[in-house]
Amino acid sequence: MLEVKDLEVSYGSIKALHGVSLNVPQGSIVTLIGANGAGKSTTLRAISGLIKTRSGSVTYSGEDITNQPAHKIVAKHLCHVPEGRMVFANLTVAENLRMGAYLRNDKAGIAADMDYAFTIFPRLKERINQAAGTMSGGEQQMLAIARALMSQPKCLMLDEPSLGIAPILVRAIFDQIVAINKERGLTILLVEQNANLALGISHHGYVLETGRVILEDSAAALLKNPQVRAAYLGD
């Protein structure tokens, strides 16, 4: 569904990605792991059109989308939940969700998707009229994912969904990521510092180091890999 080939990205004179290549099969959960500064978030931002690539290509559902504007990529049902959640702090939960559906005009479908969001994240329904900025980090992360689902993505990219969140809510969020993948067949590309948790729900994984893919394998194999265990799993 998503193929990244030889992607190179620079911030001024500093090269952030050195020929990153990866594949995300339809219906799968694929994880990128690596230390801070490895290029994980940059990879997602390049795919979603938030930053320009110097060379390489991004192919989505057979179409070259390299360097297309971000709003056009969202319209193709490829959606990015950024690191730090980026909810609209002064808007209510309901208003944030409606913002996620800004490209749609099917009122019945929007209502159905909002109900689905409340089914997977009941806390959002409890806080439907609450300003998003007053909610906890975990609740804001739930809202950011639910807002992305309102755009009817076929592929969802999640950047550090566990960052700064209480462990009990992290587990709830990851359980729902798995449920969304299974129930809706949603393809997921996940960037996550908690390598143990991420690989535990994924089908395949890539290890990034200083802007390069240094290792790729099935998630189960990466969990057993001594190099990965020593570097990222605390062994």
57-101 tens-digit pLDDT: 999 999 999 999 999 999 999 999 988 778 999 999 999 999 999
What average pLDDT does range 150-166 have in this prediction? 92
What average pLDDT does range 146-159 have in this prediction? 95
Strand ranges (E), 140-231: 155-159, 187-191, 204-209, 212-218
What is the pLDDT, as a whole number, of residue 164? 83
Share of the chain above pLDDT 90, in %: 81
What average pLDDT does range 105-116 have in this prediction? 94
- List domains and CATH numbers for the chain: 2-86+153-232 (3.40.50.300)
Dist. CA 50–CA 154, nearest whole Å: 19
What average pLDDT does range 173-200 have in this prediction? 93
**For the whole model, what pTM was predicted?**
0.92
What is the pLDDT, as a whole number, of residue 52? 95
- Give SS3 for 131: strand
Q: Which residues contact 17 (CB under 8 A, 6 or more apart)?
A: 7, 8, 9, 39, 42, 43, 46, 53, 56, 211
pLDDT greater at residue 33 or residue 165: 33
Residue 231 has pLDDT above 90, yes or no: no
What is the pLDDT, as a whole number, of residue 235? 56
> Taking all residues of the chain, what is their mean pLDDT, rounded to a whole number?
93
Residue 150 has pLDDT above 70, yes or no: yes
Confidence of residue 189 (pLDDT cuts 50, 70, 90): very high
Residue 233 has pLDDT above 80, yes or no: no
